[in-house]
Each structure stands twice: as C-alpha cells, then as structure tokens.
Amino acid sequence: MRARTLPRVDVGMVTWNGAELALRAARSLFESDQGCDIGLLVYDNGSTDGTPELLRAALPRAEVIAGGENLGFSRAMNVLIAKSGAPFFFALNSDAWPEAGAVGRLVDAAERHPRAAAIAPLLLRPDGSVEHSTHPFPSLRIAALDALGLRGALPKALARAWCLEGTWAHDEAREVDWAVGAALLMRRAALDEVGYLEERFFMYAEDLEWCWRAHRRGWEVRFEPSAVVRHVGNASGARRFGAERMNLETANLHSFYRAEHSGAASVAYRVLSAAGCLLGERRARRNLEDEEAAHWHRQAKAHLATARAARAARAARTERTAGAAAAPSETRARDVAVSHAWEAALREYGAELLPGAERPAGEDRHGGAPPLVTVAVSTRGRSAMALRLLESLERQTIGCGSFEVVVVDDCSPDRTSEEIVRFATSTSLRLKVIRSLARRGPAAGRNLAWRAGSGPLVAFTDDDCVPDPRWLAEGVRAMSRGDLVVVGRTEPRPEQAALASLPFSRTVRVDGVRFFETCNVFYRRADLEAAGGFDERFSRPSGEDTELALSVLESGVQAAFCADALVHHEVWPPGLGPVLHQTWRWIDLPLLVRRHPASGRELLGRPHFWKESHPYALGALAGTVLAMSGHERVGVAAVIPWIYFRLVRDPPCPGPRRRVVALPGALVLDLCEVGVMAVGSMKHRTLVL
C-alpha cells in the first residue's frame, strides 16, 4: 500500500526572554506525533537570556534567527511568514504547546473548509481550564450591551452565536469572527491574498485585525475543538510591558476600531466601553470583590487613556507641522539639497529604504544622468493597483531614463512593499521603494516621496490610476512654457465607463484647473520646497492637495490645464454604505478654508457650505420634521427645492428613473456630509457646512 504523504506545515514562533517556555513549546512539536510534516522557524527579538542559543543547541532541526533588536511580535512573525514556503503556516506563541495530533487536526479541518483562511484550536490553560479564545468583532452593539448591563439578558442562543464570553464551552467546530492568535493555523493562499500581520501593532490586536481583513476578502475563520493547545498566556507581554499591558492592548483595539469605522463611531465605542467597565466595577464592589473591581477600574482608565493619548498625538503632530511651516524656506531648501533630500526625509518620517531598492534597476543603463521628473506616489494596502500603475509608467513615451519613480508604502497591512521590491528587480524604471514604519497618511507619504527624489520637476499620481503613455511627455511639455503648476486631464478607466454612471459609484474626473488633485498634477521642486510641501495636519486625503496648490499660487506661480496629459482613474463599485463611510475623510476640509480664507471660500459651493446641495438638504431635513409633526404643506414646500436641485441641477446619476430611485440615498449622503463638516468646523474653528 502506498504511504500517505503528510501535509507540510511551517510553525512560526517569536521569542523574547522566555527560554524555558519556548523550549518546551518547540520540543512538543517534535516529540509528539502531530500528524503532519513539521518545520520550525523561530525569530528571537533580541533576548538577553540566551534563548536563541538554547533552542539551536536543543533543536538542530529548527531554523533560529537571532534578531539584534526587538521588532515586536507582528513584524517578527511577518519575517517568518515570508520565509515559509509551506501551504500552511502555524503561528504559535512561545508559551503555547500543542498536544499530540493538534496540528494535523487543524490541517484536516482546513482541508474540509477550503475557504477557511485560518483555523483556531481549543486553548486550555495549564490547569485544564478553557481559555475563551474566540470573539465577535468589536461593535457598538456589543459595547452598548455592556454599558447598559444587558449582556446577561440576551437569549442564550443569540449570545452563543455571537461567541460572547461565558456563553459557550468551546465544544463544537464552527465559524467565528476572530480567534486569539496564540495558536492559529493560517492558509498560505489566504496570506498571499489578505496580506501579513499589521505591523503598526507592536503586539496585541494583530490577530483581530488580520481576521477582519480576511472576512472582508470573503474568507472565513473557523474553530476546531479537537485540536488542543496548552497556553500559559501573556508570558512575554507581562515581562515586556508589566502593568502597561492592558493600556497597550486597549490602545491597539481602539486604533483598529478607529481605522475601520467613522470618527463618531470610534468615539461612541470608546465611551460605551468605558461605561461598561465602570458598570462592572460597581457590580464587583457591590459583591465585595475588590480585586475584580480594581481590574474593571484599570480597564475603564485604559479606555479613557486611549482618548487622551489620541488627543496628545494629534496635538504633537499639529505642533510639529506648524513648526516646520514656520521654518525659513532657506532651511528647508538646504535640507532638501543634502543627498537629494531622501536621507533627511527618511530620518524625519521614521521610514526605511527597502533592501533591493537602493540601486534601482536601469540606473546604470542611463549612465547616472539625473532624471528630469520625479513621479511621487503614496500607497497603502493596494499592491495590485500599485503594480498596475508601475507597469503603466514603464510604457511612458518620455523614456525611463528621463524620470524616476519614488513609491512610499504608508505601513501597508499586506505585502505591498515586498511586491514592489520584487517588481524593482526586473523593471527598467528608476525605482525607489520606501516603507513608513508607522501609518502617517497620504500627505506625509507624498512629502516623503517627492523629497526622496532628485528631479527638478515632480509629477504626482495615485496608486488607483493608470497614466496614458504620453502623460509625462505632455506634462513636461506644458511645464516648459513657464513657471507653472500644471493639472492634467483625469477620466474614469474606459472599461469602467458603465460602472461610473451608476448611483454612488466613486471616481475622479478632472477637466480644468480648480482642486489640483494629486492623481494628476505637476510642480517644480523649488515651488514645493518654498511652500513646505503638503500640510500633514490633513490626516486623510481631504483637501491637502488643494491647500498645497493655493500656497504655491499665492507666491505668484500660475496654473495651467493640459488636456493631453491624461490619467485614467479607477471607478470604485457603487454602494451607499462605502460612500457614507468615505465622508469622514473630509473632516479636515475646513482647515483649507482656515489656511486660505479668500481662495478657499471661492472653491465652496456656497458661502460657508462645502457643496451647493447642502443648504437645500438642511431645508429638506427641516421640512421632513415639519411634515411629521403635522405641518405637511410647509414641510413639503421646504423639501421641494432640494428635490429639484438633485433631480435637475446636480443629479446623483444619469437617467431619470435612476435619479428618482437614488434620491433617499442622496439625502442621507448630503446630511452625513453636513454632519462631518460640522465636526470639522469645530475641530478647525472655521465654519464650513
């Protein structure tokens, strides 16, 4: 009989000053029958207790990498994921050890469920008690239940379906939202599609964030109780952070929530979470459980400390940006002149030039001649689009020797940097790839990109664009006519024309000089230096491009439109939900008006209103309230102007029938935009609705 081929699994383990526990976990893999072919990869985060030496001596089959510094859990684990070539990768904490056959049972479950991105085992504490390791995604619904003390009032079946703690015994195989990453079998195909762990989290919440991304990509996460792993829990975290562990974990949770939801929702989630903890403290004190009460009190403080830390970080960024703006332009110009500016920029922004990108392919072929144009791109988490953009730049008629491309990866959660570096090894482009070590936003990314280049002209485009082959040639030709800022023409991708006509689809069209969108604009480097670059107080793409252009124009530079410098822009699928989610990105738009009162207000739809539809929308809201309170005629009269405006003057889409169907969504969108502008107005002390 032919022997069964065992599946291959690479086990990844990150260690830090936990030699005995790590050795026990590693030995369990080789001293028990796991039902699969095991390979062990270890990354040691600069231990001082001899952990890597001990593991090498005791387990010669293991590949142990001794890092010189503590990269954090997520980044170190990503090093191991990148080294693995197996179809399955088992992320295992150094204080966790699988019982016999556990890994094989996880693989069997994965093979039964091909859309499972990850399979989580049953986690038991060393004393045999069950560790609650599967959870629902954080939500306002769960936070509100805790704040109102209603979790215990939920029907048991519903609480069990939501995986709420204390409602099920982890005794059945099932799909879950997310599972603790102390022991998690991850499918290589899912890692390649979803990306690696989010490196902005030093440790904690990286498992939650990765499972969230997997679900959004159509994958599922499953729990398999027949696979048992013993877990001590928080061995390295307690040594590294001590009493601050709870603060770090809570801060990462809110960082994740804030990145995936609106600002208002994140504030509400934080408040409700703190309220739920205070209710738990009150309940514990009533039951004379002092230790439990102290725990809930610390947890509530952690939620509130997160809010204070976020405010402090924003204040620090504002102060740093204001100081940079106040510095003399001669100082900025001198900094830029040093080694083409990029060494200073890397230090300033906390970024790194990735290995393999220091000597761009094609540099020698161009004889070391300086480029005429620097194409500056900031990207995050869209590797396929970024590669498509680079391929289109290879086809530029101006010739690869005449321009360079600088791509800044704004701390992508996927393998964007690695994919672009791989592309750099075979392209004829002069290509620099820089990775920011913390998420800074597109304004900071573009600043880093143009400062890292050396061309006297700078062309900006975005990762969701496809420039026409003549784009750079036509833009440079237009720039040669004088001291100008040149805006090129932007249209939706031709193959997506039908999609662009649907209600609530999103794209960019540019047919004149007004907003200076960074999808297609050309500057002289000297003008960027004099203006100080993009204002990084714009934490989202929400007017920072227009603000920069106004700063340059106020110095006497003229603007010109070049229809032949064409860029095609991605059309994002229609949907009211995604559009509403995107409205929060415009919260910093009032800052544009504050920085440039006269010019900024000229760009608004009406005085103090961002869009011309907004005052009509407020009238429609008032009319709806009046109609519901019994004043039907007055209410209808107040709604009619908005309906006329949205059907005739600014319809949400082509086609009379589609316009009517889209009206309710258009009203919701208008009112949401007004709400975001109101919050932004308070934030920046400038009225824009």
Of 217, 245, 273, which residue is a domain's last? 245
* Residue 380 is assigned to a structural domain of this protein: yes
With a cut of 70, say whether residue 305 has pLDDT above it: no
pLDDT 10s digits, 332-341: 333 334 344 4
Q: Which two tokens stand for residue 176?
A: 């879950």
With a cut of 70, say whether residue 324 has pLDDT above it: no
- Identify whether residues 196 and 332 lie together within a single domain: no
Q: Which residues are 63's β-sheet partners?
A: 41
Q: What one-character DSSP code corresponds to residue 371?
A: P
Q: Which residues contact 670 (CB under 8 A, 6 or more apart)?
A: 611, 613, 614, 616, 617, 642
In the chain, the number of structural domains is 4
- Mean pLDDT score, 9-18: 87
Report d(CA 516, CA 534) in Å as an integer. 12
- Identify whether residues 180 and 36 lie together within a single domain: yes
- Identify whether residues 478 and 546 lie together within a single domain: yes
With a cut of 60, say whether residue 269 has pLDDT above it: yes
- Identify whether residues 427 and 520 lie together within a single domain: yes
* Residue 602 is assigned to a structural domain of this protein: no
How high is the pLDDT of residue 405? Answer: 93
pLDDT 10s digits, 519-570: 999 999 988 988 888 888 887 777 888 889 888 888 888 899 999 999 999 9
Of 200, 221, 245, which residue is a domain's last? 245
User: How big is the CA angle at 681 (ends 679 and 687), to the nearest 5 degrees?
Assistant: 140
Q: Is 656 exposed, middle or buried (0-12, 13-18, 19+ CB in 10 A)?
A: exposed
Kindly report the pTM of this predicted structure.
0.51
3-7, 237-241, 604-608, 657-661 — which is least confidently predicted? Answer: 237-241
Report d(CA 631, CA 627) in Å as an integer. 5
118 against 52, higher pLDDT:
118
Report d(CA 604, CA 75) in Å as an integer. 44
CB atoms within 10 A of CB 141: 10
Of 245, 267, 284, which residue is a domain's last? 245
How high is the pLDDT of residue 349? Answer: 58
* Residue 282 is assigned to a structural domain of this protein: yes
How high is the pLDDT of residue 7? Answer: 65
- Residue-range definition of the domain harbouring residue 674: 613-684
28-37, 177-186, 331-340, 621-630 — which is least confidently predicted? Answer: 331-340
How high is the pLDDT of residue 227? Answer: 92
Task: Measure CA of the first residue to CA of the last residue in the chain; give whole Å.
Answer: 76
- Mean pLDDT score, 239-262: 66
278 against 108, higher pLDDT:
108
- Identify whether residues 206 and 282 lie together within a single domain: no
Sorting pLDDT into bands at 50, 70 and 90, what band is 640?
Answer: confident
- Mean pLDDT score, 82-86: 84
- Identify whether residues 509 and 528 lie together within a single domain: yes
pLDDT 10s digits, 501-516: 788 788 888 888 888 9
* Residue 442 is assigned to a structural domain of this protein: yes
- Mean pLDDT score, 351-375: 60
Sorting pLDDT into bands at 50, 70 and 90, what band is 38?
Answer: confident
pLDDT 10s digits, 281-302: 788 788 888 778 787 777 777 7
- Identify whether residues 485 and 339 lie together within a single domain: yes
- Identify whether residues 429 and 509 lie together within a single domain: yes
The pair phi, psi for residue 120, each rounded to 5°, is -105, 140
- Identify whether residues 279 and 364 lie together within a single domain: no
- Identify whether residues 645 and 529 lie together within a single domain: no
How high is the pLDDT of residue 331? Answer: 36
Q: Which residues contact 603 (CB under 8 A, 6 or more apart)?
A: 514, 515, 546, 592
Write a three-state SS string for 634-658.
HHHHHHHHHHHHHHHHCCCCCCHHH
- Identify whether residues 64 and 126 lie together within a single domain: yes
How high is the pLDDT of residue 343? Answer: 56
Sorting pLDDT into bands at 50, 70 and 90, what band is 653?
Answer: confident
Sorting pLDDT into bands at 50, 70 and 90, what band is 316?
Answer: very low
Indicate the pairing of strand 220-231 with strand 134-135. unpaired
- Mean pLDDT score, 633-653: 82
Residues in the chain: 689
- Mean pLDDT score, 22-51: 85
CATH number of 53's domain: 3.90.550.10
pLDDT 10s digits, 124-154: 988 888 888 888 888 888 878 877 877 777 7
Q: What one-character DSSP code corresponds to residue 434?
A: E
- Identify whether residues 521 and 429 lie together within a single domain: yes
Q: Provide the mean pLDDT of the chain.
A: 80
Q: What is the DSSP string of 373-432?
A: EEEEEEE-S-HHHHHHHHHHHHT-TT-GGGEEEEEEE-S-SSSHHHHHHHHHTT-SSEEE
* Residue 250 is assigned to a structural domain of this protein: no
* Residue 397 is assigned to a structural domain of this protein: yes
How high is the pLDDT of residue 169? Answer: 80
Q: Which residues contact 595 (CB under 8 A, 6 or more apart)?
A: 535, 547, 550, 551
* Residue 621 is assigned to a structural domain of this protein: yes
pLDDT 10s digits, 566-589: 999 998 877 777 788 778 788 888
How high is the pLDDT of residue 568? Answer: 94
* Residue 608 is assigned to a structural domain of this protein: no
How high is the pLDDT of residue 344? Answer: 53
Q: Closest Cα partner for 78 from 560, 517, 413, 347?
A: 413
How high is the pLDDT of residue 113? Answer: 93
